[in-house]
Amino acid sequence: MKKTTQRVTGLGGIFFKAKNTKKLRAWYKKHLGLPLDPTWGGMAFEWCDAKNPKKKGSTIWSAFEPDTDYFGSGKQAFMINYRVANLKKVLTQLKKEGVWVDPKMEESEFGKFGWIKDGEGNRIELWEPPRGR
């Protein structure tokens, strides 16, 4: 059996569409106590790396408008964001394996982002955090 190299290093975020984002965000704030950032309507769960406690990271939670195209075309209601150590390397390997890879890649102060589709056509976001995160 061929050994598989670990590519995903963690969960970067959970994103989902809401019928009424304002109302749903208020529900999560009131009933689950999520301290949502009013500037973008989501939050970051902060944590420390188990192997290196000085290394910090975060997992993002965010509700999106029902008509967003950020999850790709179609009726996909959620998208999971996975952390990777080297986005370009992972995308190159996945493409070689026949996985659909979005030709568009984005880079910002928040890191590098790329998208693939899983075996059922769900759009997945891969994220390489900026150095030091």
What pLDDT score was predicted for residue 49? 84
Determine what percent of the chain is predicted with pLDDT higher than 70: 95
pLDDT at 52 over 90: no
Task: State the Cα–Cα distance between residues 127 and 11, nearest whole angstrom.
Answer: 9
Q: Please compute the mean of the pLDDT values over residues 44-51 and round it to a whole number.
A: 89
What pLDDT score was predicted for residue 128? 96
Task: State the Cα–Cα distance between residues 67 and 10, nearest whole angstrom.
Answer: 28
Distant-in-sequence, close-in-space partners of 127: CB < 8 Å, separation ≥ 6:
12, 13, 81, 82, 83, 84, 87, 111, 112, 113
DSSP 8-state symbol, 29: H
Q: Within a 10 A sphere around the Cβ of 64, how many other Cβ atoms?
A: 19
pLDDT for 97-119, tens place per residue? 999 999 999 999 999 999 999 98
* C-beta separation of 38 from 27 below 8 A: no
Q: Where are the alpha helices (DSSP H) in 1-125?
A: 21-32, 87-96
Of 14-18, 55-59, 98-102, give the lowest mean pLDDT range: 55-59
**Residue at 63: amino acid letter:** A
pLDDT at 23 over 90: yes
pLDDT confidence band for 50 (50 / 70 / 90): confident
Mean pLDDT of the chain: 91
**Residue at 129: amino acid letter:** P
Q: How many residues does the chain have?
A: 133
Q: Please compute the mean of the pLDDT values over residues 43-47 and round it to a whole number.
A: 93
Q: Please compute the mean of the pLDDT values over residues 42-64 and round it to a whole number.
A: 90
Structural domains of the chain, ranges and CATH numbers in brackets: 8-128 (3.10.180.10)
